[in-house]
Amino acid sequence: MSEVSKEQIEKIQYKEHEVLEMLYSFDGDTIPDDINFVDATGTLVSDGSDNSNALRIKMNSSESKYTSVLIQPEKPWDWSNYNDFSIAMDISNQGNVSTQVYFDVSDMDGGNYTRSVAIPVSELSDGKTYYGKMRGHDLGTPEGDINVELNFESGLRGNPPTWQGYNDTQFISMWGSKNLNTKAITQFSLSVQSALRAKEITIDNIRLIKNPPKQQDFLVGLIDKFGQNSTVEFPDKVHDYAELIDQRDAELKSLQNGKKLNSRSKYSGWIDGPKLKASGYFRTEKVNGKWSLVTPDGYLFWSSGIANIRLANTTTLTGYDFDQNYIVQREPGDLTPEDSIGMNRASDQAVKTRFVQSKLRADMFLDLPEYDEPMGAHYGYRREAHSGPLERGEVYSFYRANLDRKYSEMGDFEEMWHKVTVDRMLNWGFTSFGNWIAPALYDNNRIPYFANGWIIGNFKTVSSGNDFWRPLPDVFDPEFKERAEITVKQVAAEVKGNPWCVGVFIDNEMSFGRPDRIETRLGIMLHTLRRDGSEVPTKAKFTNMMKDKYGTIDALNNAWDKSIASWEEFDKGINSDLNNDIQIADYSDMLHAYANQYFAVVSNAVDKFMPNHMYLGSRFPDWGMPIEVVRAAAKHADVVSYNSYKEGLTKKTWEFLAEIDMPSIIGEYHIGSTDSGLYHPGLIHGADQEDRGRMFKDYIYSAIDNPYFVGAHWFQYLDSPITGRAHDGENYNVGFVRTTDVPYKPLVKAAQEVHKELYERRFGKYKE
């Protein structure tokens, strides 16, 4: 499909959706009573036609965590008589920048489904239709089988549109229950969250529309041999091998072998700034009221980096599998769920037993290579997946194949990729790598890096009730300490005392608790106190804490409003439901004790095996950072780390850092779009690639300007596969480079502009 000009678009005669029910046309004189605003204002404005209005919404504060328009009918809507329909509305954006709008729908059973979309800046007359599916197509069959959900079958977190020819855009699926009870829809809302700027949008004609007939082959033939979307055109798309090589040669010339920006020291510190104590390794220091990292040779250092630069986890499930009798079994101690099979990890007989496991997925690919072809070397086998359409199966890495095509004639393609990657980082102005880089890059000695480890083993576990990636360790189990030391010892062996290593992250996004509700914040206690202390060391610790505080069980019963017979019964397992503020305070103390033990064990292991390197914590997700746990981390970590997927770091959200007063670092953030062929933009949405560049600058400026943050790392280096990474189905446009290893020019330009003024913006002009 060729690119379409604006003039051609204006001539397109779009089809009109069949309206099943108009919910709000806003053509009256007043805003309906069931529409309310949270930290926002609403006014009726003319939509440009006679006697017709639209609802203008001003999101008043750029410092609000949540601002929204909430629509709650007096009686829940009953839409159960519609089997194949969507909720749609016309939206335009009168703000200065794009606006990411979250669309939430809730039902009477407590179900909730969140979608999102980026609304580009537009005039009211240019508003277009945005829709969210409620039933039919990939949210259940028209016959009413609500158990069918195409995302689970296809493995794509965002699917292509299932119809064409309409001037509409689908809200992107984010999280929640997609198959809501349409007999009782209680509310829906449009919100803007943690925005750096005030926003202004106009909505009109909120309605139910009948879904057009489903395009039966909308998932067929999506992916070309380079791993790109075969159905659309976009800038820098690779059409053949010659284009790939031409692009490579032009980029390598522009990189100048990774020539650094001006005013950078050996370790990418601020060479024009003050000279501080040189310890030989990275450390922290507070300078003129701002926390900073300090390079081994004594220069101020702010870590701007890119995370997840590695070839692991670049594969996607192809829809094929093999007879399991012929798959080579994992060796003892081999903990990776994915192996290269080519012809070395499975027997020739296994390849002969290859069969289609999922026709839906197999049909997505236009040109997968044969095993005996050169590009056949980039197949693999995944033995298990965290989530997605298949439990296991054949995988393929288009990214590795494209690196092979680009660089093999110049030498070993992985070694060339290592060099080009470092050249890019320096040319783009980044001062370091982020987390999760290939250990083969640890000794590049051209740009600083962060090491990482993940504590795994047979220690006992506890639960917060929301164990997203995995259960939490029982940190009072002696086995946990042993496994922590084994993990850090292995990291130390990889780092080898290299001063280019800034420090080490251990673990990632642990489910310590969700602070938005008391019950989820204190979930570790709610679940662990019900268990037997003779089997759960953390429970035994909690029992001893309460015995030390209260002495007698009667004193605890009086404080907690309980009727527990004895301390023996307490330790055996109790009803842990919360009754009062005293109990909440005690649970808070227990949460801190749990977290304190976790960070103390890991910190001691780092001190023991990596005494010259900093411990940087576990990278709290912004949805899982109870203040009790953050305070514990601050006691033991050299730098406290957070992953924050927002537009930026708003002052109100992060004001608690003044109390902690510790150097802090962002381990992950990103912005994506859907204009380069991928169907999901990730967690934070821009309108297009230019907008991604603008939003990158906004985010990193918000971190540079915060006196507590000493760095921020973009996640990740390359886009996910369009058909979803094999591990969990992520198919996000969040890379600085495409699956063809072609950089996104607007992002690169934005990075270079930010990094040219990084140190002066952070620390100001320096004079002796």
**Interior CA angle at 23 toward 21 and 28, to 5°?**
125
Q: Hey, what are 411's tokens?
A: 């030498």
Going from the C-alpha of 96 to that of each of 3, 91, 197, 455, the distances in angstroms are 27, 15, 9, 46
pLDDT in tens, 527-570: 999 999 999 999 999 999 999 999 999 999 999 999 999 999 99
> Please, which residues have CB within 8 angstroms of residue 165's CB and are 6 or more apart in sequence?
14, 15, 212
Averaged pLDDT score across all residues of the chain: 91
Q: Phi-psi category of 90—alpha, beta or left, where left has phi over 0 and alpha has psi -120 to 50?
A: beta
Q: Are 425 and 433 in contact (CB under 8 A)?
A: yes
pLDDT in tens, 699-729: 999 999 999 999 999 999 999 999 999 988 8
% pLDDT > 90, the chain: 77
Q: Are 649 and 642 in contact (CB under 8 A)?
A: no
Question: 617-622, long-range: CB within 8 Å, 24+ apart, which pairs?
Answer: 617/505, 617/506, 617/641, 618/505, 618/506, 618/507, 618/508, 618/509, 618/510, 619/435, 619/505, 619/507, 619/508, 619/509, 619/643, 619/667, 619/668, 620/509, 620/510, 620/512, 621/509, 622/646
Question: What's the pLDDT band for 342 if we cut at 50, 70, 90?
Answer: very low
**What pLDDT does residue 355 have?**
93
> Please, which residues have CB within 8 angstroms of residue 48's CB and are 6 or more apart in sequence?
124, 125
> Please, which residues have CB within 8 angstroms of residue 441's CB and are 6 or more apart in sequence?
309, 418, 421, 422, 433, 449
By CB neighbour count within 10 A (0-12 exposed, 13-18 middle, 19+ buried), where does 124 fall? middle
Half-sphere exposure (CA, 13 Å, Cβ side) for 264?
24
- The dihedral built from the CA positions of residue 476, 478, 480 and 485, taken in this order, carries a sign that is positive
Q: How far apart are CA 27 and CA 17, in angstroms?
A: 20
pLDDT in tens, 506-526: 999 999 999 888 998 999 999
pLDDT in tens, 568-600: 999 999 999 999 999 999 999 999 999 999 999
Beta strands 290-294 and 300-301, pairing class:
antiparallel
Q: Are 475 and 464 in contact (CB under 8 A)?
A: no
Q: Are 545 and 551 in contact (CB under 8 A)?
A: no
Is residue 1 predicted with pLDDT exceeding 50? no
Domain spans of the chain? 13-210, 316-396
**What pLDDT does residue 263 have?**
81
Beta strands 393-396 and 379-382, pairing class:
antiparallel
**What pLDDT does residue 768 have?**
55
210: β partners = 85
44: β partners = 55
Q: How far apart are CA 346 and CA 104, in angstroms?
A: 47
Is residue 330 predicted with pLDDT exceeding 70? no
pLDDT in tens, 93-118: 999 999 999 999 999 999 999 999 99
Is residue 51 predicted with pLDDT exceeding 90? no
**Quick one: CATH architecture of 13-210?**
Sandwich (2.60)
600 phi/psi in degrees, rounded to 5? -65, -45
**What pLDDT does residue 61 have?**
64
| Structural Rg of the chain based on CA atoms | 27
H or E element: which one contains 396?
A: strand 393-396
Is residue 326 predicted with pLDDT exceeding 70? no
pLDDT in tens, 463-510: 998 887 789 999 999 999 999 999 999 999 999 999 999 999 999 999
Is residue 177 predicted with pLDDT exceeding 70? yes
Q: How far apart are CA 105 and CA 109, in angstroms?
A: 12
Q: How far apart are CA 540 and CA 527, in angstroms?
A: 13
**What pLDDT does residue 531 have?**
97
DSSP line for 180-233: --TT-EEEEEEEEES-SS-EEEEEEEEEEEEPPPP-TTTTTT-B-TTSSBTT--
Beta strands 300-301 and 664-668, pairing class:
unpaired
For residues 22-46, average pLDDT: 93
**Predicted structure pTM score:** 0.93
Q: How far apart are CA 746 and CA 758, in angstroms?
A: 18
Q: Hey, what are 609's tokens?
A: 């095996």
Is residue 142 predicted with pLDDT exceeding 90? no
Q: Phi-psi category of 561—alpha, beta or left, where left has phi over 0 and alpha has psi -120 to 50?
A: left
Question: What's the pLDDT band for 765 if we cut at 50, 70, 90?
Answer: confident
Q: Where are the alpha helices (DSSP H) in 383-477?
A: 398-407, 413-427
For residues 199-226, average pLDDT: 94
Is residue 646 predicted with pLDDT exceeding 70? yes
